[in-house]
Amino acid sequence: MASQASFVEFILDQLSSCEDVQAKKMFGEYALYMSGKMFALICDDQLFIKPTTAGRGLLNMVNEAPPYPQAKPWYLIDSDLLDDRDALSTLARTTAAALPLPVKKPGKSAKKAGT
C-alpha cells in the first residue's frame, strides 16, 4: 500500500523548522532528505527514521521495524512523537547530522574520460 500525499505533507509540515527537507517519491513511498542526506522513509503512512546512536539517545522508547520487506530495522516513530513538532525536528536534525554525506558516483562522461 502506497503512502498518501496528505501524510507526507503532514510530516513535511511538522519538519518545517528544519532546513532543506525534501520528500522524493520512490516506488510509491517516499524518502526524506535533509541537506542531501537521506534520513527517513515514509512507508505505508508510517515514518521511519534511520537508526543512529545520536538519534537513539533522544528517544525514550525505541520501536524498531523494517520499513519494507527484507529491510533492516529503522526507528518507527509513534503518533505521540509525530505530533510533537519540536521533538520530531530535533530528532531529524540530530539524525541527519550523524549521517555521512552520500558519495557521488562518477557519471558516464567521467568514466569515458578516464579510459
**pLDDT of 84:** 97
pTM: 0.87
- CATH number where 45 lies: 3.30.1460.30
3-32 residues labelled b (16+ CB within 10 A) or e (exposed): beeebbebbbebbeebeebebeeeeebbbb
Domain count, the chain: 1
pLDDT band (50, 70, 90) for residue 113: low
Residue length of the chain: 115
pLDDT digits 0-9 by tens, 34-86: 999 999 999 999 999 999 999 999 998 899 999 999 999 999 999 999 999 99
Cell of residue 35, nine digits: 541537506
Domain limits at 12? 5-114
